[in-house]
Amino acid sequence: MSVFSYDKNGFLLDGTPFRIISGSIHYFRSCPQRWSDLLRKLKVCGFNTVETYIPWNLHEPHEGDFRFDGLVNLEQFLRLAGAEGLKVILRPAPYICAEWDFGGLPAWLLKDRSMTLRCADPKYLQKVSAYYNVLIPKLVPFQCTNGGPLIACQIENEYGSYGNDKEYLRFLEQTMRSLGLEILLFTSDGPTDMMLTGGTLPDVLKTANFGSRPAEAFQKLREYQTDGPLMCAEYWNGWFDHWGEEHHVRDPRDAVETFREMLDAGASVNFYMFHGGTNFGFMNGANYSDKYEPTITSYDYCAPLTEEGNTTPKYDLLRELLKNYSDTACNLPIREKAPTCGYGKVVLTQKAHLMPQRDRLASVIRSAAPLPMEQYDQSYGAILYRTKVGRYAAPEKLEICGLHDRAHIFVNGRKVGILYRANHESVIEISLPLEENVIDILVENMGRVNYGPRLHDRKGIDGGVRLHYQHLFGWDVWPMEMEDLSRLEFSPAGSQEDGPVFLKGTFTVDQCADTYLRTDSLNHGSVWINGFNLGRYWPKIGPQKTLYLPAPLLKEGENELLILEYDGASNTSVEFVDCPDLG
């Protein structure tokens, strides 16, 4: 048993001064088979603590359906951290931001339009309570007071960047306590007056999040907390990427020098990220300031460990620096650079066009108006809306109100265009020459906003469809979650295929190794390996040109590659190479 606390001078572990030197590793962004290696590299680098978020949307993907296995086996991650002698800081939110879909909140919360998120709305608090009633008891045995590695938990996450509801923050604190958490609780916010005023509680430890100018940030923190530990709970040593922008990098010497400044100031630090990992599946988030900006699949973050977990020059500089500040640096063996393999070209020999397969992907729902995904109990994937209208003598403007996010429009089975929310597109001119015309609108969910005031980001169509000034009613709707693609019927593929289309091929592996799928021959879509959703690709706008495929997702012998290509492929072959290209 241990007691982790603090006094006016800093943190204490069993009454002895203790500086937190922590690194962020998100268990849900890497394969469980790699957790031990990542944690060992953290320890060998000189860190004494690991920090991770807990994503509600993975642990309760459907209301009342709780999961703590496989990729989200949190308890196993905690056991492995403890076995390495690392302390643990958890951030159980309920909101985590993290460039993760909907900031980690489950999409099913959006079905109830009368519910207000991240505040003391009783409806929301009831959902949080039900989640915490399952989650928090799983954490209790891992507390340091019970002989485990867990020393601290965060209340909410950067709440001052969103709201100012002290009743809500107090509710979270009291719920954690009532369910058995007796360890240190803290808040973390940006170092500004508004954020530190809105996101903190007077009797709870305050920490700050930033990536530069630590003296200024700590000075602002001291205005709200005159003594006690100084801590940067998120030191942004790199950054994340959106589709369509340059890949972010940071000079490792600059990142390590800023870290040194914080250590010299006597501060505790959580290095965000130490290992970034991957936004597998449909789990990338998005930002919205002037426009909608979805995050790419890679969460490399220019971190000390690459997406696949290999060390970088930043890692080497950190390890050298921490020899002067840490008593945990050691010479334990670590895995050498993970072997990679370029498995070569894979010909996608089979096809299944999405539109004719709609009834194999979802059951049709009759709906008076086209509603968002969440109203049909859908969270991810795409959604197809179909209606019929009469003949119009001249072309008319079709407007999709509240398009979230990318729509393919078909008239009488022919694709007439694509509208994309990020480009502020919502109107297309169409011709309706038949006595009865079929309009299909296939909307792809590109990732929910994870930060800021536009958090209530419902997907699909969130405002109806108009033809000129006339609202269109009477729709058939197919909510395509794309969790199970086993019912698709395939036929031989040609050398090129119009989208949206599923393309399938197989390749043989003699020895499983990390590899990277080049997506240059494709346009826009998602990839599955042996049924596992690897993530999204969009090479034409970049920056990411390869998708990382971890060795644990492969098997010796035949492997299946399935691609959903929305925009059509002019070359139905792809290639696995032995190095990444993040732009």
Task: List the catalytic residues.
Answer: 158, 234
Helix axes 122-139, 166-178, angle to 10 degrees: 30
The tokens of 218 are what?
Answer: 């700590």
- Helix, strand, coil fractions of the chain, as percent rounded to 5: 25, 30, 45
Q: Under a CB-based contact definition with an 8 Å cutoff, are residues 54 and 90 in contact?
A: yes
- The residue length of the chain stands at 583
Q: What is the C-alpha end-to-end distance of the chain, expressed in Å?
A: 48
Q: What is the DSSP letter of 255?
A: H
**Would you tell me how many other CB atoms lie within 10 Å of the CB of residue 293?**
19
**Would you tell me how many other CB atoms lie within 10 Å of the CB of residue 253?**
11
Give kind and range of the element (H or E) at residue 559: strand 557-565
Say how far apart CA 376 and CA 383 lie, in whole Å.
10
For strand 403-404 and strand 460-461, is the pairing parallel, antiparallel, or unpaired? antiparallel
Q: At a CB cut-off of 8 Å and minimum separation 6, what does 203 contact?
A: none
The 3 state secondary structure assigned to 61-120 is: CECCECCCCHHHCHHHHHHHHHHCCCEEEEECCCCCCCCEHHHHCCHHHHHCCCCCCCCC
The tokens of 563 are what?
Answer: 């691609």
Say how far apart CA 331 and CA 323 lie, in whole Å.
11
Say how far apart CA 285 and CA 446 lie, in whole Å.
8
Say how far apart CA 284 and CA 445 lie, in whole Å.
10
Side-chain half-sphere CA neighbours of 250 within 13 A: 24
Give kind and range of the element (H or E) at residue 223: helix 214-224
Dihedral pair phi/psi, residue 539, rounded to 5°: -65, -25
Distances (CA, A) of 459 to 112, 118, 385, 546: 14, 19, 13, 27
Dihedral pair phi/psi, residue 44, rounded to 5°: -65, -25
The residue among 92, 83, 18 whose CA lies nearest residue 52 is 92
Q: Under a CB-based contact definition with an 8 Å cutoff, are residues 530 and 559 in contact?
A: yes
DSSP letter string, 429-494: EE---SSSEEEEEEEE----B-SSTT-----EESS-EEETTEEP--EEEEEE--S--TT---EE--
Side-chain half-sphere CA neighbours of 321 within 13 A: 21
How far from the centroid of its chain's Cα atoms is residue 200's Cα?
25
